[in-house]
A and B are shown apart, each in its own frame.
Chain A
């Protein structure tokens, strides 16, 4: 069964892109997007639901890959939509269990932890210009829009460029923190 799964997965990657490296990148993008979507819809087990979605797609890939027209990512999404409804029905069945504590209570007392330590470490690993940019960006003076316009003027960039660069730096930073936290655990 495992071998069949590997073959299916191989077929899936080929379906995404004949080039294995590009296929891997697309696969990661699809996986991350699905995790985000499940999470934004309020499903606590977003990763599990995503893996289940991918498994179902992989199982179907030998049948659909040849004739499928369009972006494969949308096929993944179509399967994920079915997962939404299944997971919703599941959650409704579990509704009798005690409600989760309010989110506020969950995070409010969470000012410590490995994330904070890893953040400092990861910030120091950033190239100095990136480090400076991300810290300046988060020095939240009000109004925020004016502060960011001033930052853009100072760095001789457009506000949108600042926004996009900060987003990229944030991705790198959060990935570093995840790795650091996983290592600490």
Chain B
């Protein structure tokens, strides 16, 4: 590789008129009798011209090129042809596509489009974003409700309802129609409380399956789920996770579900949750 480099450098010096007479004659004798070496000199010449046109020569080399190499019509013609070839090659080069980030692309669009188009585009984008937001919110809500129903189903499996457990706050509900103003049964929850137990004194005792709906007193639904007792007529005990119970007044609506698919309204029961 070193020899190749040295040879290239020698040829370059020869073409720039930078060799002694003795060395110059040595190069010329060789290219007269050695076809391969002649080709090397000619290729070296082409590369020198290309380097000159692409400003790849050192300043001192550039001066020698202009003062010595370009002193004859043949070399001038070679320069002209190489320049033409470079120009032709550049004109066939595929355009360089500059990578732009998304912001630049958007900025470019807005700079180049009409005000009407810009307004329409922005409006459409806002609508899309709003719609997406609404859909996402609805989806999240459905997801949360589904998870809650699953949790409630697990909590209210008869096997998971302890008959007596002093660690779980428990409350016996009263039908709402019998409620005295301000005298709703109360249950206090603390940060350590995870579950509250509600005992619902349903009148009818023929049902085993129930639908339960919990709302705030203002009417906002908190949860709706179905549950079953261990046996028809067994006490209806509900367990609710405290995380869905803020300090508020609630109404529990209980509906009995018969095996034949009939429903029976079993009343509304109110209670108050206090947070400690």
Contact = CB atoms under 8 A, between A and B. Distances in A.
Contacts of A46: 72, 74
Contact of A107 (B39, B80, B93): B80
A21 B81 CA distance: 30
A8 interface: no
Interface string B71-86: 1111111011101111
A74 B85 contact: no
B10 interface: no
Given A138-B88, A164-B39, A113 B32 contact: no
A167 B74 contact: no
A146 interface: no
A177 B81 contact: yes
Interface residues of B, number: 45
Nearest to B94: A139
Interface stretch (B42-50, B117-125, B174-182, B221-229): B42-50
Interface in A138-185: 138-140, 142, 144, 163-164, 167, 170-171, 173-174, 177
A74 B32 contact: yes
A100 B77 CA distance: 16
Interface in A47-75: 71, 73-74
A103 B39 contact: no
A135 B89 contact: yes
A29 B35 contact: yes
Contact of A42 (B28, B72, B79, B90): B72
Interface in A27-46: 29-30, 33-37, 39-44, 46
Q: Is the interface of B mostly helix, strand, loop or mixed?
A: helix
Given A73-B33, A115-B81, A138-B89, A42 B71 contact: yes
A119 interface: yes
A176 B73 CA distance: 18
Contacts of A19: none
A142 B86 CA distance: 14
Given A73-B33, A139-B89, A167-B43, A44 B84 contact: no
Contacts of B50: 138, 140, 144
B9 interface: no
A22 B86 CA distance: 35
B186 interface: no
B149 interface: no
A76 B68 contact: no
Given A40-B14, A73-B32, 5 more contacts: A36-B41, A36-B42, A44-B73, A119-B84, A123-B88
Interface of B: 14-15, 17, 24-25, 28-29, 31-33, 35, 38-39, 41-43, 46, 50, 54, 56, 66-77, 79-81, 83-90, 92-93
